[in-house]
Structure 1
Amino acid sequence: MTIFDRITTLLGSTLSEAGFACAEYARQPSGCKRTGLMAALIAVTFSGPLWAQSTLVHNINGYTMNSQRERIEFVAIEFNGDTVERLYQAGDTLPAADEGGQSMTRIDGEGKTLLPGLIDAHGHVLSYGLSLLRVDMTGTSSEQEAVERVTQFRARNPDLNWIQGRGWNQVLWDSNEFPNAASLDAAGSEVPMWFSRVDGHAGWANQAAMELAGVDASTPDPEGGMIIRDAEGRPTGVFVDTAMDYITEQIPALSIEDQKRALLSAMHSLADLGMTSVHDAGISSTTLQAYQELAEDGPLPIRVYAMISANDEDYVERLGEGYIETADDTFVMRSVKIVADGALGSRGAYLNEEYSDQPGHHGLLLMSPDRLTQLIQVGMEEDFQINIHAIGDGANQIVMDNYEALIENTGTQAQRHRIEHAQILRFEDILRFHELGVIPSMQATHATSDKNMAVDRIGEVRIQGAYAWRKLLDAGARIANGSDFPVEPANPFFGLHASVTRQDRDNQPPGGWYPEEKMTREEALLSFTLDAAYAAHQDDILGTLEPGKKADFILVDEDYFAVEPGMLWQLDAEKTWVGGRLITPTP
């Protein structure tokens, strides 16, 4: 029995009477093998008549990377409901508005470029939504400029009990030094403040926040974390990795309604950038509930492939409840996010050899190797995809060793397990991605942002295995590309530009940073479309524009395949359709 058969038997009832159907029918020939929340959540919903009239978008310069990974050109696309019906190539006769007695909506694309909807394979939707509502320190050139933004924000929001934000990066500051609580106190000493570093692996607190947390010179560094201290051993206000918990545990939890507002704000903003789908890299049970409630009200604005965080206190319970997949395919949860180490900028990435710019320091493993193995095995035994944050070569080696042993023991190679970031790799581990069927889920703009400090951190030899897109592709791996927003800007064209040029948005350095690792334009587009869909087990419905696949596409102001490479980051998605619905601009 297919999902279509299932829906057909329910059409005589109202939607509320129809209840819920199991979307696993669409994925597994044996039918619905899971019960619990998955079966309870998957509502049979329609945003309009079941057999809506067809829509034709014509007068376009269209491209799709088909399932054979070929670039195909077309001049018009016809879709009905949420599915592509036909692509028209040059010379084909286009249907009239009332052909065959059936009315058809026609949209003039004004000669602009139509591409498959872009997929970000690694972002943080809630954090991004909250960042739109908090202090943004991205791009500040000094600690003082960051504090000035806090002062301005506080003046606009005088009633807040906590002031929060994110985006600072001391590597870009004139001082190249971590910030200090004392400078924040100048912006207001009575209100606790907390600001995450750009990579999310360090945070900056003022004195009021530290006092609320009871942090002083006697407070120990936790396992997997570090408190930055002055010469007398006193906390300076910067907390790295698990040490951030001292402060974050004092911040009042967001309500479900708070989270829903932030998620919706984020999804609409992402759609405006040309994104039709995102892989949400690590959500809590409460965020899962927020998504579920939003999904019950209708299709989400864009598609979300969520990973339940292994740090969630109900992690095992969530696994036992099985996959969650809405019938409209706008929300899926069938994967796990585990964090193995920290980030390179804060020297938290775990390296086999010491940091080149900090002798004796190897970075941080955020949990013991035994605990990591346990979390992986539990997830695999429940048949979930495992997605592990690993940046340093030491962390990547440990993860790969676990994958090599546990994938075979659990028989889960078909789950397409992933390493999130896969940033610094030994050459041996580059080869193991293809051998084990593991996906490197990477973020191109990390390379162009990190080029200012990466060689300092790991030296001229290890850098040859860092951000190594070409080596991975040549070894047979399929890269799922993303941004890691809000760590990096969410705009996917920034990532496409970085993938093709290995340059920042000032087009520096000339020729690209380690240009031998560049992607071609086709490879870059695939990494943000078909290969990202593959990494979410959605390549049968997403990633290309082909008859029978979802009508997820964007209309772009310039031709992606024709503009100068240095101009790619300036491309603008003027319109975004998800499942045949025009999401932005708002109709």
Structure 2
Amino acid sequence: MSLIKRITLLVLFAITASVNAKSLHIYNVKGYTFTPQRELVTFTNMVIDSGKVVSIGDDSLGHAFPTAQQLDGEGQTLLPGLIDAHGHLLGLGASLLFIDVREATSAQHAAKMAADYYQRNPDLTWVQGGRWNQVLWPDKEFPNAAILDETLPNVPVWLERIDGHAGWANSAALKIAGITKETVSPEGGKILTDELGNPTGILIDTAMSLVEKHLPEQNRQLMQQQLNAAGEHLLSLGITSMHDAGIDKRTYDFYRELAADGELPLRVYAMLAATAPELPQMLAAGKVTTADEMLLIRSVKAYGDGALGSRGAALLAAYNDDPRNKGLLVTAQDKLPGLFNQVIGSGFALHFHAIGDRANRLALDQFAATFATIGGQELRHRMEHAQVIAVDDIIRFKELDIIPSMQPTHATSDMNMARDRIGPKRLRGAYAWRTFLKQGSILAFGSDFPVELANPFYGLHAAVTRQDRNNQPVKGWIPEQALSLTESLRAFTIDAAYAAAQEQTIGSLTKGYWADFILVDKDIFAIPAEDLWTVTVNQTFIAGEKVYQRD
């Protein structure tokens, strides 16, 4: 035996002395992970103790842990648990429990789906759900209340658009909300009207609250049902941690209660909603974490604008397909200094929703101003979506240490309308993952579920190919912005963890990190990129405990 091998075994046996008999040795896997230095490494064996990784290596690793429980990986591919850096946990649960009209081929089809749903659930006082997208319908026009009235004239209906930035109400819902031709659109929102000034049933951004405040109350029982549904779904997709983009005080209390009892189904990095009336009290309570690191609260989510699909994204120049419209500022410009100073001054990171180039520029300007006056640049601030950006503003993300938190499937979902909305020139700064990476920005990837489907392998596929799941367009949409699989996986693991200041405990499978990992049915580095979206999760583990097993 060589001197080096003898020394290696002595070190491994020394490690073994501190590992108890309940440790787990996983062998016969094709393992991939990133080191804390963000380098991709491979392994075939991993040892876990007390929920954390003890070591990874080759077959010789097992000799040092003879008392460990043995798990044959059967040649499966093992990856770190995937992290979705932007989603809505209870919103996903609601979408799984309510009517989903994502597959509707027209407004009339969506209305029929809603009516069929009500027939199956006749005790409902409201029909709720959504995920419609008029861009995919033949006329590409917003629907109206009259279409819903044809199938559901008496029960109120509220269906959110796929991006969550517009809602579709029937006449019964408009009546309950008291919305008439005299109703004034609130700041940061818009009530769409017809040529006679009558409300059409479409409410944009903050105007949605006019209906939403009349919806059935969100009680604890319903929240638990939503959490259960969402947790089960995400674990089946290999997501072991998610960043919840904007929670109110009720959800804040709910998560803290569950975390204290060890009942959260996956790791949650929750952002406080800037719109919550109780924000000052939640900030004053300080950052929230737990010993098992299942819950972390250290940031605030604020809204700069709306979404591109509903023409609510705030643009520097008018929309190409709506010359009188520059979008909406959900948070007024004059309120930004107070908001930024309040959040950052409390030691919390600010994660700012900005889709249009104007919203991004205003946020960058305010980050710079706040850093100059009160500091706080080191807090891992983020731009959520960072979707359409003036090319000259992209470098400012690096200069100001702002993390672009982006969603790959947004690009492949939006490619059917983005050029129409903003024209070819502005596309140069849109969905610009490669540009950000080239300048040294760290990317955090997510899905924005339930706006998009939560499956992270759909996101990996979109990031690498810039194609939809029909592999269109053939060469990819704006293919120069595509990433490698290594870069994309990093953005769903160690770099997503970095964006939550968790890169020293999750996102990697190296010594001392939580043993959050998945076993999947295909080696993602050995299959064609076009097949990435077909990968299926067989098992999911959090802190070394199996939390999902494929049937």
TM-score (norm 1): 0.89
Paired residues of 1:256 and 1:289 also in contact (CA < 8 A) = no
Helix, strand or coil for the counterpart of 2:462? helix
Paired residues of 1:52 and 1:81 also in contact (CA < 8 A) = no
State the Cα distance separating 1:245 from its structure 2 match.
1.1
Name the structure 1 match of 2:446: 482
State the Cα distance separating 1:367 from its structure 2 match.
2.2
Unaligned runs of 5+ in 1: 1-49
Name the structure 2 match of 1:79: 48
Partner residue of 2:458 out of 494, 499, 503: 494
Name the structure 2 match of 1:127: 91
State the Cα distance separating 1:139 from its structure 2 match.
2.5
Paired residues of 2:79 and 2:517 also in contact (CA < 8 A) = yes
Paired residues of 1:260 and 1:294 also in contact (CA < 8 A) = no
C-alpha separation in 1, matches of 2:375 and 2:188:
31
Query: Where do 1:495-534 residues align within 5 Å?
Result: 495-534=459-498
Matched, 1:143 2:107: yes
Matched, 1:66 2:66: no
Matched, 1:418 2:386: no
C-alpha separation in 1, matches of 2:142 and 2:50:
53
Paired residues of 2:389 and 2:429 also in contact (CA < 8 A) = yes
Paired residues of 2:106 and 2:137 also in contact (CA < 8 A) = yes
Helix, strand or coil for the counterpart of 1:583? strand
Paired residues of 1:257 and 1:290 also in contact (CA < 8 A) = no
Paired residues of 1:501 and 1:565 also in contact (CA < 8 A) = yes
Query: Where do 1:241-256 residues align within 5 Å?
Result: 241-256=205-220
C-alpha separation in 2, matches of 1:199 and 1:109:
39
State the Cα distance separating 1:257 from its structure 2 match.
2.6
Query: Where do 1:24-63 residues align within 5 Å?
Result: 53-63=22-32
Query: Where do 1:444-463 residues align within 5 Å?
Result: 444-463=408-427
Partner residue of 1:369 out of 310, 333, 358: 333
Paired residues of 2:131 and 2:451 also in contact (CA < 8 A) = yes
State the Cα distance separating 1:407 from its structure 2 match.
2.0
Paired residues of 1:260 and 1:291 also in contact (CA < 8 A) = no
C-alpha separation in 1, matches of 2:473 and 2:388:
21
Name the structure 2 match of 1:154: 118
Name the structure 2 match of 1:7: none
C-alpha separation in 1, matches of 2:293 and 2:61:
32
Matched, 1:558 2:522: yes
Name the structure 1 match of 2:435: 471
Query: Where do 1:283-294 residues align within 5 Å?
Result: 283-294=247-258
State the Cα distance separating 1:410 from its structure 2 match.
2.1
Paired residues of 2:349 and 2:381 also in contact (CA < 8 A) = yes
**CA offsets, 1:254-294, max 9 Å, x none?**
01232122122212210110001000000000011111222
C-alpha separation in 2, matches of 1:210 and 1:376:
35
C-alpha separation in 1, matches of 2:360 and 2:545:
40
Paired residues of 2:539 and 2:550 also in contact (CA < 8 A) = no
State the Cα distance separating 1:96 from its structure 2 match.
7.9
Helix, strand or coil for the counterpart of 2:272? strand
Paired residues of 2:302 and 2:352 also in contact (CA < 8 A) = yes
TM-score (norm 2): 0.95
Name the structure 2 match of 1:32: none
State the Cα distance separating 1:439 from its structure 2 match.
0.2
Name the structure 2 match of 1:181: 145
C-alpha separation in 1, matches of 2:183 and 2:276:
25
Partner residue of 1:321 out of 269, 273, 285: 285
**CA offsets, 1:309-328, max 9 Å, x none?**
00001011110110110111
Paired residues of 1:57 and 1:77 also in contact (CA < 8 A) = yes
Query: Where do 1:103-502 residues align within 5 Å?
Result: 104-502=68-466
C-alpha separation in 2, matches of 1:324 and 1:123:
19
Paired residues of 1:82 and 1:580 also in contact (CA < 8 A) = yes
C-alpha separation in 1, matches of 2:21 and 2:190:
58
Paired residues of 1:380 and 1:412 also in contact (CA < 8 A) = yes
CA RMSD of aligned residues (A): 1.4
Helix, strand or coil for the counterpart of 1:69? coil
Q: Which amino acid aligns with 1:491?
A: N
Helix, strand or coil for the counterpart of 1:236? strand
Name the structure 2 match of 1:37: none
Q: Which amino acid aligns with 1:173?
A: W
Helix, strand or coil for the counterpart of 2:203? strand
C-alpha separation in 1, matches of 2:130 and 2:69:
44
Runs of 4+ in 1 over 3 A off after TM superposition: none
Identity fraction in percent: 48
C-alpha separation in 1, matches of 2:433 and 2:21:
43
State the Cα distance separating 1:148 from its structure 2 match.
1.8
Name the structure 2 match of 1:47: none
Paired residues of 1:340 and 1:372 also in contact (CA < 8 A) = no
C-alpha separation in 2, matches of 1:96 and 1:437:
43
Q: Which amino acid aligns with 1:57?
A: I
**CA offsets, 1:511-563, max 9 Å, x none?**
10000000111100000001100000000001111011010000010011111
State the Cα distance separating 1:299 from its structure 2 match.
4.7
**CA offsets, 1:105-148, max 9 Å, x none?**
11111111000110000000010001110000113221122112
C-alpha separation in 1, matches of 2:200 and 2:463:
37
Paired residues of 1:400 and 1:432 also in contact (CA < 8 A) = yes
Unaligned runs of 5+ in 2: 1-18
Q: Which amino acid aligns with 1:282?
A: G
Matched, 1:94 2:94: no
State the Cα distance separating 1:586 from its structure 2 match.
8.2
Q: Which amino acid aligns with 2:262?
A: G
Helix, strand or coil for the counterpart of 2:519? strand
Helix, strand or coil for the counterpart of 2:63? coil
**CA offsets, 1:546-587, max 9 Å, x none?**
011010000010011111000001111111101111110289
C-alpha separation in 1, matches of 2:351 and 2:268:
15
Helix, strand or coil for the counterpart of 2:175? helix
C-alpha separation in 2, matches of 1:560 and 1:197:
33
